[in-house]
Amino acid sequence: MALLDGLFAPETDRWTEGASDWWDGFYADRDRPVPFFVPKPDENLASYLHGGLFGHGRGDEALDLGCGPGRNALLLAAAGYDVDAVDLSPKAIAWAEDRAREAGPEIASRISFTCGDAFALTQASAPLSGPYHVIHDSGCFHHLPPHRRIGYLAMLERLLAPGGYFSLTCFAAGEGGMGSEIPDADLYRADRPHLHGGLAYSAESLRRIFAAVPGLEEVEIRRMRDEPADSPHFGESFLWTALFRRVHG
């Protein structure tokens, strides 16, 4: 993996431990007008929780991959989950911890924030061992180069409990979408491959990729709903939301 990582231009890296400085710069100014800096959870995750799709939550464990300032981890904790939230950026984790303290001790006590590489932290003998009833990824997966999907899928297979749910928010290809639509093979043909800020996916490509996880079945794939400024939830239609359930291990 490190050899393939090295094919990409250094400034492209958003997925290894070495990318923490880039993300720290991204999160340094908390007042920047970045859509997902708002203290609001993803509308899709909120709909699953409030609609009772995930069950009662109490006593179950959840994993928030690439948690950023913690907006989705806070929602999961408020729903009763014991949450492991991981991010590469120390500044993002510090911001998330501040938000958790502001939310009060009951919610803060249910969240364990960890700074580091999710691939390393979720190995068999690593701290984040699961199994998890819910795994939520809002904006992590689309920053991975194609060869890193292998480890990502293995992580899901290892950590997602039978009957558990995997929820994803990522860049959408096509009209009104966002992200690079360069085919996988063409990325590796370039002299210095670049992800151009993140890869965009079609619904078909998401189905094909995640079909590789044993027992993982699609619940829904749809565009994220646009949410107005006064909404309690985050929503931008340039993103996909996808939900999968693991029917067996």
CB 232 within 8 A of CB 45: no
The whole-angstrom separation of Cα 75 and Cα 97 is 14
Q: What global pTM score does this model have? A: 0.95
Torsion sign (Cα): 156, 158, 159, 161: positive
Burial class (CB in 10 A: 0-12, 13-18, 19+), 114: middle
Tokens of 188: 């590796």
Instruction: Provide DSSP, 22-90.
Output: HHHHHHS-TTS--GGGSS--BHHHHHHHHTTTT---TT-EEEEET-TTSHHHHHHHHTT-EEEEEES-H
Please give the pLDDT value at position 192. 84
Which segments of 55-193 are extended strands (E)?
Answer: 61-65, 82-87, 111-115, 132-138, 160-171
- Which residues are bridge partners to 32 per DSSP? none
- Name residues of the chain where pLDDT drops below 50: none
The whole-angstrom separation of Cα 220 and Cα 64 is 19
The whole-angstrom separation of Cα 182 and Cα 198 is 10
The alpha carbons of the chain give a radius of gyration, in whole angstroms, of: 17
Which amino acid belongs to residue 55? G
**Tens digit of each residue's pLDDT (9 = 90 or more) over 177-195:** 899 999 999 999 888 888 9
Element (H, E) at 194: none
Please give the pLDDT value at position 124. 66
